[in-house]
Amino acid sequence: MTINIKNFLNDKSKLSKMGEFQNLKQIEGLEMASISADLYSDGRDDVALFYFSKGANYASLYTTNSITSEFIPWNNNSHKKVIKGLLVNTKNANTFTGKQGKDSIDTLAKNLSRILTIKESKSKKGTTETVKIKDLIFASTGVIGEEFPVEKIKERLPDLVEKLRGEQNKMYWLKIASAIMTTDTKPKVAYEEIIVGDELIRICGIAKGSGMIAPNLATMLSFIFTNADINSNLLKTLLKRSVANSFNAISVDSDQSTNDMVTIFSTRTLKIGENLSLNDKVIQKFELALKKLCLNLAKQIVVDGEGAKKFLTISVINAKSLGSAKKIAFSIANSPLVKTAVAGEDPNWGRIIMGIGKSGEVVDPKKLKVKIGEMVVAENGKISDSYNEEKLKEYMQWDSVEFEINLKLGNDAFKCFTCDFTHDYIDINADYRN
């Protein structure tokens, strides 16, 4: 997205400025590497490995698409509370690949566990521990239905493990974040830290998406790492709460990948307390930081949406329920008519009204108040008396625009984020596989 951030300040949250990446730091207990398995035939890194020398607690959320990558049931069947590694490949989704896809996972898991066991026996002399196949989880993104390139990836596993590195600086994080990209135009990284006494809790996150659905349905992947020792159950709760208003509040084109996956890992290297719960201050701070980090990554995905030229925030307030607010917000966000009007910088608020009604939610048109930016465009069941088309047109030229729908029916609210629909979206997606 070649966005000219004329006024990204208009968007009140702290989206990291484009071109300026945050300074991600090292997470003790994490080793990372990426490599080219020649999946793209152009030398770029297309496989990444995350290895936890002392194991990691983790929690994962997956796509709700009823057809999924073969990797997703594998991960779900792991039942391990502590794992040793995550392998990510791009280019091929391993979805609708049948037996060949399933067998490929066995092959990869067996080979990788063997190689990692050798690595461990070398570094921890005298250990008898082995890395089991169920200590490994997988993520992938790419084309659906094509044979999974298991041999190409398998061949590169020894070198990939060889390259694992426990020291991570900003540039190394960007390298790894780039290795999981598909049609993304830039890597997506985010960082938060929390001071607890003399210690520093670190949270590093990377993501890919390019439109929630770009490549062959732009899978959204995000992997988050922290040194704070938090158990897997609590991680799951924290992740769910953070995803609700970030990754689950974005939409590029309403389509949903078969491979979407967000996972948080704790390397358990920093002890922050025993029997922690949501009521503990340190966890509350952690939750705030995690929410901020997830929202940051989610917004980067929208900004990098396929062909996107504008960032659009849709805020529904005073709804009778959260579900209702959400339904209305997404009904507007997913309307091609709204998104093309935004691309055309047309303050066509009639389409917002249509989007509200189309949601199927009961609203009271007489109570409804619609704002574009700070300007009221409709209230009392009709166009606002202060409606000023000239000013609105000027506002619509901004790179980031906001619609606020005040339903005046209750106390619930939901905010979602999307981008406009442009010629480039058609170009990218009409020619995707060529």
Of 323 and 344, which CB lies nearer to a copy of itself in the complex structure?
344
Return the number of the residue (30 or 213) whose C-beta is nearest a copy of itself.
213
Q: Put the strands of the sheet holding 412-419 in their side by side order.
A: 250-251, 412-419, 311-319, 400-406, 369-372, 375-379, 382-383
Q: How many residues does the chain have?
A: 434
* Between 33 and 368, CB nearer to a copy of itself: 368
The label of the residue with tokens 């952690």 reads 286
**What's the chain's Rg over C-alpha atoms?**
23
Would you give the distance in Å from CA 94 to the centre of its chain?
19
Query: Which of 183, 219, 267, 422 is an active site residue?
Result: 219
Distances (CA, A) of 238 to 60, 62, 214, 233, 235: 11, 15, 27, 9, 5
Distance in Å, CB of 390 to a copy of itself, minimum: 14
**How near is the Cβ of 110 to a copy of itself at its closest, in Å?**
22
Q: Do 101 and 142 touch, CB atoms closer than 8 A? A: no
Q: How far is the CB of 74 from a copy of itself (least distance, A)?
A: 15
Nearest to a copy of itself of 156, 351 (CB atom): 351
* Contact predicate 218/383, CB 8 Å: no
* Nearest Cα residue to 211 out of 417, 384, 431: 417
Note if 63 is an active site residue: no
Closest to a copy of itself by CB, 272 or 363: 363
Place of tokens 């609708």: 96
**Which string of DSSP letters, residue by residue, matches 287-320?**
HHHHHHHHHHHHHHHHHT-TT---EEEEEEEEES
Beta carbon nearer to a copy of itself, 141 or 232? 141
- 341 vs 401, beta carbon nearer a copy of itself: 341
Smallest distance, Å, CB 410 to a copy of itself? 16
182 to 140, 212, 323: CA distances (angstroms): 11, 11, 32
Output the smallest distance, CB 297 to a copy of itself, in A. 22
Residues 207 and 303: beta-carbon distance below 8 Å: no
3-state class of 64 per DSSP?
Answer: coil
Closest approach, Cβ 48 to a copy of itself, in A, equals 23
SS3 356: helix
Nearer to a copy of itself, 196 or 354 (CB): 354
Distance CA 194, CA 281 (A): 12
Q: Rule CB under 8 A: which residues touch a copy of itself? A: 64-68, 93, 95-101, 143-147, 213, 216-217, 253-258, 334-337, 340-341, 343-344, 346, 348-351, 353-363, 365, 378, 380-383, 421-423, 425-426, 429-434
Phi-psi region of 202 (alpha: psi -120 to 50; beta: other; left: phi over 0): beta
Q: What is the nearest approach in angstroms of a copy of itself to the Cβ of residue 111? A: 23
CB 208 within 8 A of CB 221: yes
Q: What b/e sequence results for 68-91 when a residue is b if at least 16 CB atoms lie within 10 Å of its CB, and e otherwise?
A: bbbbbebbeebebeebbbbbbbbb
CA–centroid distance for 70 within its chain: 20
CB of 184 to a copy of itself, least distance (A): 16
- Distance from C-alpha of 325 to C-alpha of 99, rounded to nearest angstrom: 42
As annotated, the active-site residues are 219
